Amino acid sequence: MSNERYFFVRIITSFNNEGDLLINRALLQFVSSYGKVIIDRRSSPDEFLEELTKDIENCELSDTFYKTLIKNTLSRHKTFLLTIPGHFFGEGIKKAFSIFVSACFFYLLKIGGVKILKFGGCLGPFDWPVKVAERFRASAFTFYGIRDSISIANLNKSSKVERFPDLAFVSDDIKKISENKQSERNGNLVISFREQTNAMFNAQGYTEKITDKLAKLIEQKQANKLVFCYQVPSDRDFNHRLFCEFKERGYNCEFINKKLRLNEALKLYANSSFVLSNRLHILVPSLCFGTAHLGIIDKKQHHKILGIYRDLNIDSLLVDIDDEITPETIANTAEISSSAHLSSLYNQELEYAHKIRSNIMSL
């Protein structure tokens, strides 16, 4: 068997979401120093693929993805199949059946010696047919890494399921900006929100509750300027409404009227003094940069944020949309949201991920 490693991946994601770009780039960065990464060109738009692979070595786009995968398997190369990171949820017999079919393909690859890996996944909500199908598929994996304990419980943990940090923690893009960020923060408060927790839930009055909690928190936090922005096109209108609302209240406000590109967004969170959001890949990068922040979320539905923050023992940095805001809400989180504490958590997760990677690559 050849010692050269080949990592195969098909990227199917929300191609306009900079958070999804962040974690998929991090996936490639995480493995590319250990072998060649072969990406299915036909699964993603050209513009996305260009951003995905920018400045990452050992990446190759393939027009014959499955043919190359099978050829590598038959040639007895060290072959890995990477599944995409991020949030997996859904319901219905049709979805469960498609998972079962892909599971059968995974088992065939496993028999042929392919090691199937998942890093930084998140699970649920889903109904029992989808749960049963995903549990069956999970057993085909060499490593099935899920980023929070709530997701693991949703699957009824099997021996194949382990915790693995969100891939933002291992992002070279975040690491580079973190090492070169300004020594002094700019005094701005960054605000960016989505209108719902996920496509399966759209709680009545959710945006009104977000606006109310936001107003009470802003009253507690002195800032040079409130900066409203978005890194997903569908967030634009809600953030613009928030901008208009707080501008009318007399605050010094700025609305960045374009979707932030990945590096623009990361630099903004790294250099700001405070961040308020309900998007996971605004909150976690802020954590990595040591930027003070709070999430305003529906804890009953937004498990993918709650699970990560609870596992890190910093869920006090999450404000539920039904919580009462006291005059001390931000002051009470000052110690846990300090730059030193957040940076130590970032380094802890990074070290843990690298240890797991070393173990897998030694197989």
Q: Note the pLDDT of residue 315.
A: 96
Q: Give the Cα separation of 280 and 129 in Å (integer).
A: 27
pLDDT value for 75: 85
CA distance 298 to 360: 36
Instruction: Tell me which H or E stretch contains 190.
Output: strand 188-192
Give the model's pLDDT for residue 202: 59
Q: Where in the chain is the domain with CATH 3.40.50.2000?
A: 176-347
The yes or no reply on domain 176-347 and CATH 3.40.50.2300 is no
Provide DSSP, 311-362: HTT-GGGEEETTSPPPTTTTGGGTTTTSHHHHHHHHHHHHHHHHHHHHHHHT
Mean pLDDT for each 10-residue chunk of the chain (363 residues)? Answer: 86 96 98 97 96 97 96 90 92 96 97 96 91 94 95 78 96 96 90 81 81 94 96 97 98 98 98 97 98 95 94 96 87 89 96 96 88
Which residue carries 């940090």 as its tokens? 165
What is the distance between the alpha carbons of residues 162 and 308, in angstroms, rounded to a whole number? 14
- Highest CATH level, class, for 5-173+350-361: alpha beta
CB neighbour list of residue 268: distance below 8 Å, 6 or more residues apart: 190, 227, 229, 260
The angle that helices 206-220 and 236-248 make with each other, rounded to 10 degrees, is: 50
Query: Which of 296, 356, 279 minimizes the C-alpha distance to 20?
Result: 279
How far apart (Å, rounded) are the C-alpha atoms in residues 209 and 319? 11
- How large is the angle between the packed helices 280-288 and 339-361, nearest 10 degrees? 100
Query: What pTM was computed for the model?
Result: 0.95
pLDDT score, position 125: 86
- The pLDDT assigned to 134 comes to 93
What letter represents residue 354's amino acid?
H
